[in-house]
Structures are given as C-alpha cells and as structure tokens.
Structure 1
Amino acid sequence: MSDGVNLSRRHLLRGHLKAAAPAVQLPWSLPWPEFVADCSRCGDCLSACPEQIIIKGDGGFPALDLGLGECSFCGDCASACQEPLFRPRDQRPWDYIAQITEGCLANGQVYCQRCQDSCEARAIRFIPVLGRVPTPSVDADLCTGCGACVGDCPVGSIKVASPAHKEHE
C-alpha cells in the first residue's frame, strides 16, 4: 500500500542525496556507497588536509582534486573524521594508479618528461624509441597513485584511476 509519498523526495528533504562517486576518493575511505551513507559532509577532512587537495565534490561530499597537488598519504583526513568512514591505515590507501592518455605531448613528438621528474616513486619511465621522442610508461607495481604527476603535466593528459578504468589507447 502506497501512502503517495515520493521516497526520492523524502531522501532529498532529509539530505540523503545520491552523489556520483568522485574520480578519486580519499585514501583509506570505505567504498563509495558506504562512505556517503555515513558522511555528514562536515568538512573536517578538508581543513585537516595539509596539501589542501580535498574539495567539496558532488552533493558536498569530499573528493580529491589531484590537479591541486599530490596526496602525501599523511592520514590527517582520516584522523580528523568523527565518522567510521575509513579503513585501517596499515592497509594500502587505494588501488589508484597514474594513467597517461593519448593527449601526452610525447605522442605528438614533443619532448617532455615532467611527469617522470615529479614521480618520487620512479613509477613513470620514458622508453627510448629509435627515431622518435621517448614515450612514457607507468609501472603499476611502483605507482602509489599520489597524483604528483597529474598537476605537473602541462597538457593535463594524466589522470589517476583504478586499473579497471584504464582508458583504451
């Protein structure tokens, strides 16, 4: 028996918005449906981040903008949170890795290795090819997904995503 109430409107009025999962979630955060179910959107994680890379994303939920800088995996966002939204920090922070898209300058025969220079983990290497500009390669085993390369790319051709979301080249 229906009481004529639109449940989606009820969720809206109670502040339970359906927010799209951000491209990059906070390190050690629970899977998105669990995260948004308990996140109060208080902003404590935003103010706790020393790199200031946490932004208010869709629906006011926190997300990372790695174009603003890299994640140092300090854990301050998780420590500042009063809700049970994070996994133990003795686990890997996430499964994200850097992915270089077709827009990379090397694909246009322009010499640039800024991503390699900014990668502390040495996960990005340029492979020499006879008669061509060296092209980048990401070692998934070394890449932490910190995003240092994202903001350093002059043409924005690097993103950080789960390996399952790799763009087809």
Structure 2
Amino acid sequence: MPAAASISRRQLLKGRAQPKPFEPRPPGVDPISVASCTGCGECLEVCPERILALRDLRVVLLPEMGECIFCGKCAEVCPEPVFSESRLMAHLVDISGDCLARAGITCMTCRDACPEAAISMRPRIGGPFLPVLDPELCNGCGACVAPCPSQAITAIPREYSDEG
C-alpha cells in the first residue's frame, strides 16, 4: 500500500466514512447560510465568470475554473437568505508541498496572478524563491488557483481570531 494513501486498510474494512472535502462558497455565503440554498441555480446563470456550481443542491465556488470578481450578481438574484451583506469569502487559499518552487523549479505564477498581492516570494539560498501567503491580504478570489501549473493551490476554511 502506498505511503500517501488517504485511507488505511482498517478504515476500509470497517467502513468508516471519510470527512467530506472542503468546498469553497461564493462571497457572503458561510457554512450556516448555505443551508438555506434550495439549488434553484439562478446564481449559476448570472455569474459572468461561470465559476459557480451546485453540489448536493448547494452552491459552491470552483476556483479552479477562474477568479471571482466580487460582482455580487449571484447575491442579487438569490431568492433565499443564502448571501449575507458581507461580501467576504469564508475561505482563503493554501499552497501545498506540490508547489514547483518547493521542488526546485522557478515559478512565480501564483504571485503574478494575485490581484491583492497576498502572495510574495521569499528568497532562499540554493533554490528558487518560495511563495508565502499573507492570510490577511488573501480575499479568497481564486485568481491564483487556475494558473498554477502544478495544481498546488486549494481553498481552505478561513480561521477567524476571537479578537475584534
């Protein structure tokens, strides 16, 4: 069995359910408000970037398909209380170990694609610069996800501090 297997033989035989992978949502949608989504699909039809989809009759964002431009059209047409007034994303991105720069290959695609300058490059001795994400600047738009040549960037839940 490969060392990188996501399920052990014991888990397979016992039939333990694996947790569902994280699914990013459009701006203003959080894990609680998405329960109001009826799956009507009106938001999918008006999205100019075509980056929304339905999974289990709930709206999800597909950052691998392109960048959210925060136009708000999805919220305007939604007949249910799915979208809050806050147009923040409940997620940000994470750069995994599959990043080409971490493998010694010079790449700055994510930095160049980020409209918020949330990704900077940290110099290192003996190798290409490494990407560093500033979670305070990342708005979760996903502009860096699709252009990544190694598919090393994924959406993860945003962790909020108890302060302020």
TM-score, reference length from structure 2: 0.79
**Structure 1 residues 51, 115: closer, same or farther in 2, change over 3 A?**
same
Gaps in structure 1 of 5+ consecutive residues: 1-19, 165-169
Instruction: Please state whether the residue corresponding to 1:136 is helix, strand or coil.
Output: strand
Please show how residues 19-34 of structure 1 align to structure 2 within 5 Å: 23-29=23-29, 31-34=30-33
* Separation in 1, partners of 2:38, 2:140: 26
> Partner amino acid for 1:32?
P
Partner of 1:85: 82
Calculate the aligned-residue CA RMSD, in Å: 1.6
**Structure 1 residues 72, 162: closer, same or farther in 2, change over 3 A?**
same
- Alpha-carbon shift at residue 95 of structure 1 (Å): 3.6
Aligned residues: 140
Which among 63, 66, 81 is matched to residue 63 of structure 2?
66
- Alpha-carbon shift at residue 109 of structure 1 (Å): 0.1
Instruction: Please state whether the residue corresponding to 1:67 is helix, strand or coil.
Output: helix
- Alpha-carbon shift at residue 98 of structure 1 (Å): 1.6
**Structure 1 residues 44, 81: closer, same or farther in 2, change over 3 A?**
same
Partner of 2:125: 130
- Alpha-carbon shift at residue 61 of structure 1 (Å): 1.8
TM-score, reference length from structure 1: 0.77
Percent of matched pairs sharing the same residue: 35
Higher helix proportion (structure 1 or 2): 1
Higher alpha-carbon Rg: 1
Partner of 1:167: none
Structure 1 ranges of 4+ moved more than 6 A:
none
- Alpha-carbon shift at residue 161 of structure 1 (Å): 1.6
